[in-house]
Structure 1
C-alpha cells in the first residue's frame, strides 16, 4: 500500500518559523523538513503517517478523522487541514476549511489504493451494542 504524503504550512510574517516547523514535526516526526521563506514543507511515503495514525488511535478520533477525510477525497487524492496551533502542543484538531487567521497545516495523501490507505490510517470502528 504505497502513498505519497505532502504536508505544508504557510509561515506568516507574525509567526516564528521555528514554531511553525515544530508544529509539523510534532505530528510528523519522521519527515525531513524543508524550510522556505514563506512555507514549511514535508513529504514522504506511508511511514510519514505512522505517528499521525498513533495519535488518532490514542485520542480515539479515528472515526471522526475518517469521516473528514472521506469528504475530502478527489480521485486518488485526499486533502485536509489540521490546526497549526493545536499541533504546536502535540494535538491533532481537524479544521473544516482552513479558515484560521494564521492558516492551518495542509495534508495531502495520494495513492492508487487510497481507500486501503484510509482503512489503515483511520479504520472505521464498529459500535458494539
Structure 2
C-alpha cells in the first residue's frame, strides 16, 4: 500500500462518559490512529493528525474485508465541501478492531467521529475506497 502525499487534516472525537477510564478511551483512538496527537478534557477525547498514513489501519481493513462500498457510501453521504466524516465503534477500537457505525446511537458509549478535511477530499475518498 502506498499512501498518497495529500494535504489533509484528520480529527477524531468521542465523548468521555463518567463510567469510562480516559486512558482506555485514549488507547482506543491510538489503536486505530497511531500517528495522531491526543488531547482530553473532562467530557471529550480528541485527536488530530495531518498525515494520511493515520488511515493505514482503516485502509487495510476496508480492503481486506472488501467493505469499500460501505465506506464509500458513508464518506460520500457525509461529504460537505472539503470535509467528510463517519463513525467508528469505540469498544471495537479498544480491542484494535475497526467497526463502522451507521448512526451515533449504535455505539453504546458513543462512537468515535472521524472527520477528514482536505482541498483534495475527492482524491482522499478515492484512495480510501479504490486504493492506489
Query: TM above 0.5, one fold?
Result: yes
> 1:30 aligned to 2:35?
yes
Moved more, 22-31 or 33-42: 33-42
TM (norm. structure 2) is 0.85
Paired residue for 1:117?
124
CA RMSD of aligned residues (A): 1.5
Task: Give the SS at the match of 1:40.
Answer: strand
Q: Show CA shifts across 1:27-67 (max 9, x none).
A: 10111211222211111122322232123223332221112
**Partner residue of 2:15 out of 10, 16, 20:** 10
1:110 CA drift (Å): 0.7
Q: Show CA shifts across 1:97-121 (max 9, x none).
A: 2113311000000111111001111
**Partner residue of 2:109 out of 88, 102, 106:** 102
Q: Which runs of 5+ in 1 are unaligned?
A: 125-129
Structure 1 runs of 4+ off > 3 angstroms?
none
* 8 Å Cα contact 2:74/2:85 also seen in 1: no
Distance (Å, rounded) in 1 between the aligned partners of 2:66 and 2:97:
12
1:87 CA drift (Å): 1.0
Task: Give the SS at the match of 2:130.
Answer: coil
Moved more, 71-80 or 54-63: 54-63
TM (norm. structure 1) is 0.87
